[in-house]
Amino acid sequence: MSAQPTLSDQIKSAIEQNEVILFMKGTPDAPQCGFSARTSAALTSLQVPYASVDVLPDPRIRQELSALSNWPTIPQLFVRGELIGGCDIVMEMADSGELQTLLGVEGDAEAGDGAAPTLQIENRL
């Protein structure tokens, strides 16, 4: 009998397996807070494929994520396994062109749907 992966392991795995992943409140199609909405809109406008995880269904996701990242707020954007930051940092980077450079896209991309399916992380404890 193999042990079920812990919630922390599932979060780490999601970060490792997705080049761009956004932990947010809600989903890109139905964000549940303004900061999550602005961050997902910035990524979507750049036509960047990204995965997302809704932290609202299980508060332990947010607790484990913040313990792993040392970042207290949601949303949290990770690129190639590295925490980029929350809404303010992502918006500043988008405004300066740093985000586009980091993601390898042109700054004036037409708006499109770059969102990948929302991932479900389940607590199986």
pLDDT at 71 > cutoff 90:
yes
Per-residue pLDDT tens digits for 25-69:
999 999 999 999 999 999 999 998 999 999 999 999 999 999 999
Tokens of 67: 């313990």
pLDDT at res. 124 = 42
What is the identity of the amino acid at 84? I
Query: Where do the DSSP E strands lie in 1-125?
Result: 20-24, 50-54, 76-79, 82-85, 115-119
Q: CA-CA distance, 17 to 67, in Å (whole number)?
A: 19
pTM listed for this prediction: 0.84
Contact between 78 and 20 under an 8 Å Cβ cutoff? The reply is yes
Looking at every residue in the chain, the average pLDDT score rounds to: 87
Domain definitions of the chain by residue range: 7-103
Determine the CATH number of domain 7-103: 3.40.30.10
